[in-house]
């Protein structure tokens, strides 16, 4: 996990609304966070192949938001990207799509106070502690009691559109620094 340093202090810049996105080789899924603790709303799926860059896709999504919200629209100050690629360094290239871009340039072009970029598998793994009991599925013979999520061998197993398979167990995540795997 890594982020471009914020341009303004948290006290100076509003942090909501914020934009979240999950970008794979086929689709870019965008969602809107209106305020702290709010559910992600206004999810739109945009085909990656129809946009020459992430800037183009973000601008297309924001145009939809502007039309939907009208006079109540405020440009997002933050963007969090979960990308199907390695996320080290400023220059990013999607593994299974044509997008290649600079994080710092994208942040500047969109006028964001912060841009967080995560690998998509890391984003999925970090979501585990936030899942409700209704979102969990038992797999295998061990019985986990309610309230024991995060106590032992909780993990995530996920295929993606390239038929890779990833798995990460929570016991391997340093919860003080979630992006660091032990």
How sure is the predictor about 62, in pLDDT bands with cuts at 50, 70 and 90? Answer: very high
Q: Is the pLDDT of residue 92 over 90?
A: yes
- Give the mean pLDDT of the chain: 78
Q: What is the largest CA-CA distance in the chain?
A: 54
CA torsion sign for 124, 125, 129, 131 is positive
DSSP 8-state code for residue 59? H
Q: Where are the alpha helices (DSSP H) in the chain?
A: 54-69, 103-110, 120-127
How sure is the predictor about 73, in pLDDT bands with cuts at 50, 70 and 90? Answer: very high
What pLDDT score was predicted for residue 147?
Answer: 53
Phi-psi region of 108 (alpha: psi -120 to 50; beta: other; left: phi over 0): alpha
d(C-alpha 130, C-alpha 154), whole Å: 12
Total-model pTM: 0.72
Query: Which residue is it, tokens 């912060």?
Result: 114
What pLDDT score was predicted for residue 51?
Answer: 97
């Amino acid at each position: 996990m890594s982020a471009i340093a914020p341009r303004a202090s948290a006290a100076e810049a509003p942090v909501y609304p914020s934009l979240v996105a999950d970008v794979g080789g086929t689709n870019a899924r965008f969602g809107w966070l209106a305020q702290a603790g709010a559910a992600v709303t206004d999810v739109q799926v945009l085909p990656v192949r129809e946009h020459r860059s992430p800037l183009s896709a973000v601008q297309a999504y924001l145009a939809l938001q502007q039309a939907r919200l009208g006079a109540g629209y405020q440009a997002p100050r933050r963007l969090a990207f979960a990308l199907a690629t390695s996320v080290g360094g400023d220059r990013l290239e999607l593994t299974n799509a044509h997008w290649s871009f600079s994080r710092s340039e994208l942040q500047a072009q969109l006028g964001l106070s912060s841009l967080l970029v995560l690998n998509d598998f890391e984003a999925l793994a970090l979501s585990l502690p936030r899942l409700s009991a209704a979102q969990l599925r038992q797999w295998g013979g061990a019985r986990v009691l309610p309230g024991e999520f995060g106590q032992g061998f909780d993990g995530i197993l996920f295929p993606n559109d390239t038929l890779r398979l990833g798995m990460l167990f929570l016991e391997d995540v340093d919860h003080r620094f979630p992006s660091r795997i032990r």
